[in-house]
Amino acid sequence: MDLQEDIAAKVEILKANAATELGLLPQGDNVPTDAQAFKDELARITKYVTDLKNATKAECDKYSNDVKFWAEYRTGIKEFTPWLVAAEKTASEGLAKPSDLAEVKALNEKVGAFDKNCVNYLKVLNAAQAAAKKMTTHAEAD
Give the confidence band of 88 by pLDDT, cuts at 50, 70, 90.
very high
Q: Output the pLDDT for position 131.
A: 86
Reference 67, options 75, 57, 79, 77; nearest CA is 75
From residue 66, give the alpha-carbon distance in Å to each of 58, 62, 73, 109, 131. Answer: 12, 6, 10, 41, 9
User: In terms of pLDDT, which residue wins out, 55 or 25?
Assistant: 55
What global pTM score does this model have?
Answer: 0.54
Q: Output the pLDDT for position 142.
A: 39
Q: Output the pLDDT for position 141.
A: 46
What is the rounded average pLDDT of the residues 68-93? 90
What is the rounded average pLDDT of the residues 34-48? 91
CA distance 3 to 56: 8
